[in-house]
Amino acid sequence: MGRRTGLVDVTVTYGGDPALRGVTLLAEAGEVLAVVGPSGSGKTTALRAVAGLQQLRGGRVLVGGRDVTGVPVAQRDISMVFRSTTLVPFLDVAANLTRSAGAFGVPAPEAAQRVVARSKLLGLVRLLPRLPHTLSAGEAGLTGIGRTLVRTPRAFLFDEPLAHLDAAERSRTRRTIVEAVRKTGVGALYVTHDQAEAMAVGDRLAVLHEGRVRQVDQPRRVYEAPADTFVAEFVGGPGIGLLPARLVTSGGSAGFRVGERTIPLWGPVPDALASRVDSPVLLGLRAEDVTEAGPDADPGSVAVPVSVRSVERPGRDAVVSAEVGLPGEADGARLLARIPGGTSLRKGAHAQLLLDARRAHVFDPSTGRALLHPN
Ligand SMILES: Nc1ncnc2c1ncn2[C@@H]1O[C@H](COP(=O)(O)OP(=O)(O)OP(=O)(O)O)[C@@H](O)[C@H]1O
């Protein structure tokens, strides 16, 4: 088992309602396993189970390779940051940090040294003499993180540790967390509902949904090869459009029939889709692979008529959300396109979006499971 930390086939129920259903989540030594999922998917319950704060219906808990199922919380030797930090109110920040290290047997001079080092990394030095009630929510959050990182436990648990921080602090602090985990060589489970944060912080990413693990893999792999439509829609900004289609073949060449258009694959039916000819499929098209039709359009693409529902400008580019207007089962399906920010497209406009079937993820429409990913 190595020195892994996490859950093995764990089930937790609240008054009969399952919150975790046979969940296995294991961080390797020195690894940050980011656990991401929507509200209510079971993320906090998973961390509480590792910490020993949650009774299990079944399964085992490992901390640093040791089976701690049934072991009391205090004997698990875990350092945790939960969303709201409780600092000792009558001790200043420095004493709160030192106390945490000292409580776990770190000798006083070494504890003091670590407190200074971590405070510098987290930008906490100026807060050291302050009492908790004088701290802003963000500063209290940083102090809570500092307190977690001043010692080397058998495992780290983070539950939305950056919740109270501003954007600049968030990226600096998450780097500090990752570096500290690597340096100590113990495993960390890092819970967030923010998929972008999870992608940035996780060596691997676990996607939870309704108490089940949908996929665990490196962030890039999860993005490039989502296991199902839930993962495809949840992970990766600005998003993915899902388009009902039918796999067709003509003269040895395959394509996807969308309404009255056929989007060619420019080759034979891929092996993974061999049993799906003439069957319905669901195409997943990431916004960056969908463009607006124009004179420079890629000749490999096919235009689909849409009506624009919204245009957002998160940065240099614009993200267009649009409804397909083709008679048939794809009518009304939603596509997303990332196009240059200077576009004149507005809500309500009619436009043509270009699709390239070779960039499509293909899913089984009844189970949502992935059948094929683009190369
Ligand atoms: N003490 C409790 N009693 C009953 N149900 C609970 C309790 N705690 C959590 N639940 C339920 O268990 C499920 C998982 O909750 P959990 O808090 O683990 O989700 P989460 O993914 O952390 O959500 P969020 O991101 O909103 O914090 C939810 O349906 C929630 O309503």
How far, in Å, is the centroid of ligand 1 from the Cα of 40?
5
Ligand 1 close to Cβ of residue 44 (< 6 A): yes
Q: How far is CA 282 from CA 66, 143, 148, 226, in A?
A: 44, 47, 45, 13
Question: What tens digit of pLDDT does each residue of 206-243 get?
Answer: 999 999 999 999 999 999 999 999 999 999 888 899 99
For the chain, 375 residues long, the average pLDDT of each consecutive 10-residue run is 90 94 96 96 96 95 96 92 82 88 75 85 89 89 86 91 86 87 91 92 96 97 96 91 95 92 93 96 95 76 91 90 89 92 90 92 97 94
Q: How far apart are CA 311 and CA 350, in angstroms?
A: 13
How far, in Å, is the centroid of ligand 1 from the Cα of 14?
9
**Could you identify the atom of ligand 1 that is nearest to the CA of residue 191?**
22
Question: What tens digit of pLDDT does each residue of 125-158 get?
Answer: 999 999 999 998 888 888 888 888 888 889 999 9
pLDDT at position 167 is 85
How far, in Å, is the centroid of ligand 1 from the Cα of 211?
10
Q: What is the rounded average pLDDT for all residues in the chain? A: 91
pLDDT at position 142 is 85
pLDDT at position 313 is 87
Sheet holding 350-355, edge to edge: 291-292, 350-355, 302-312, 317-324, 334-340
- Nearest-CA residue for atom 3 of ligand 1: 14
Range list of H helices, 9-107: 43-51, 93-103
- Mutating to test ligand 1, I would choose from 14, 84, 191 the residue with most ligand atoms within 8 A of its C-beta, which is 14
pLDDT at position 328 is 85
How far, in Å, is the centroid of ligand 1 from the Cα of 46?
10
How far, in Å, is the centroid of ligand 1 from the Cα of 279?
39
Ligand 1 close to Cβ of residue 209 (< 6 A): no
Question: What tens digit of pLDDT does each residue of 348-364 get?
Answer: 999 999 998 999 999 99
Asked if the peptide bond before residue 238 counts as cis, ω within 30 degrees of 0, the response is yes
Residues 6 or more apart in contact with residue 252 via CB below 8 angstroms: 268
Which structural domains are found in the chain, ordered by start?
5-223 (3.40.50.300), 237-372 (2.40.50.140)
Range list of H helices, 22-166: 43-51, 93-103, 108-122, 137-149
Ligand 1 close to Cβ of residue 37 (< 6 A): yes
The maximal CA–CA distance of the chain, rounded, in angstroms, is 80
Looking at residue 228, what DSSP letter applies?
B
Q: What tokens were used for 291? A: 């463009």
pLDDT at position 103 is 67
Q: Which of 372, 367, 78 lies closest to 214 in space, CA to CA?
A: 367
ipTM of the prediction: 0.96
Q: Which of 284, 298, 213 lies closest to 245 in space, CA to CA?
A: 284
Ligand 1 close to Cβ of residue 47 (< 6 A): no
- Nearest-CA residue for atom 24 of ligand 1: 39
pLDDT at position 9 is 98
Contact 63, 19 (CB under 8 A): no
